[in-house]
Amino acid sequence: MSAPLPDAALDQLFRNARTRNGWKTDPLPETLIRAVYDLARMGPTSANSSPARFVFCTSEEAREKLAALASATNGAKIRQAPCTVIIGYDLDFADHLPRLFPHDQTASSWFPKGSDVEQTTAFRNGTLQGAYLMMAARSLGLDCGPMSGFSNAKVDEAFFAGTKVKSNFICSIGYGTDEKLFERGPRLAFEEACTIA
Ligand SMILES: Cc1cc2nc3c(=O)[nH]c(=O)nc-3n(C[C@H](O)[C@H](O)[C@H](O)COP(=O)(O)O)c2cc1C
């Protein structure tokens, strides 16, 4: 049986966590980047398909390459943050299913190459894994700054040429500052967003 997390943990993960637009510029150690992935990869995906592919852009060169393909405001954030992750999804994810879903060796046949189910499964689960990555980062004390204001086609060409990996969204991670922080936006009330059927 798991116990509810203490309030301090819930504050860190949800209530006080903000989308950051300003960043401390100290480099992120690779051990921390690996620790984020080690947690994120444990989140559930259909048939354990794990379609997300992550490019952690930490070098000056990679951050500049990515920043140039983003909107001007997002580009400035990418240049400042020590790391911006490209969250992609691999349409060839099913090739790994014999290893990732050993209970059923026919699982890769559920996702025919080029089919809608392959696209939907990759995008759905890759998006979920992007969210797991953000919560993993927050759980390790990091801040996140997710962004979709960039050219997916150009990022695919620059980072995923010759593969079946497509970019979904990008997310800066590091230690955020209050620079350019928006007022916290309201959220929908339970009654507006939920029903109990
Ligand atoms: C997938 C995704 C894409 C986003 N794209 C952008 C973006 O391109 N530019 C931007 O300034 N903020 C972007 N945001 C940030 C959202 O506006 C922000 O997370 C939301 O308003 C909640 O802010 P809060 O976490 O501080 O409450 C994006 C967020 C997500 C999750």
DSSP letters along 93-138, please? GGGGHHHH-TT-TTGGGGS-TT-HHHHHHHHHHHHHHHHHHHHHHH
CA–centroid distance, 3 to ligand 1, in Å, is: 31
Could you read off the pLDDT of 127-161 as tens digits, one per residue?
999 999 999 999 999 999 999 999 999 999 999 99
Residue 26 DSSP symbol:
S
Spatial separation of the C-alpha atoms in residues 129 and 54, rounded to whole Å: 10
pLDDT given for residue 95 in this prediction: 98
Is the per-residue pLDDT at 1 higher than 90? no
Tokens 């637009």 -> residue: 21
User: What Rg, from alpha-carbon coordinates, does the chain have?
Assistant: 18
Spatial separation of the C-alpha atoms in residues 113 and 39, rounded to whole Å: 29
Q: What is the pTM of this model?
A: 0.98
CA–centroid distance, 20 to ligand 1, in Å, is: 9
pLDDT given for residue 84 in this prediction: 98
pLDDT given for residue 148 in this prediction: 98
CA–centroid distance, 27 to ligand 1, in Å, is: 23
Nearest Cα neighbor of 9 from 125, 138, 176, 148 is 138
The tokens describing 33, both together, are 């980047």
Could you read off the pLDDT of 106-133 as tens digits, one per residue?
999 999 999 999 999 999 999 999 999 9
Spatial separation of the C-alpha atoms in residues 40 and 135, rounded to whole Å: 8
Could you read off the pLDDT of 40-70 as tens digits, one per residue?
999 999 999 999 999 999 999 999 999 999 9
Angle at 151 between CA 95 and CA 162, to 5 degrees: 35
Report the pocket of ligand 1 as residue ranges, CB < 6 Å: 18-19, 74, 146-149, 169, 184-185
pLDDT given for residue 137 in this prediction: 98
Which residue out of 147, 170, 183, 187 has the highest number of ligand 1 atoms within 8 Å of its CB and is therefore the one to mutate? 147
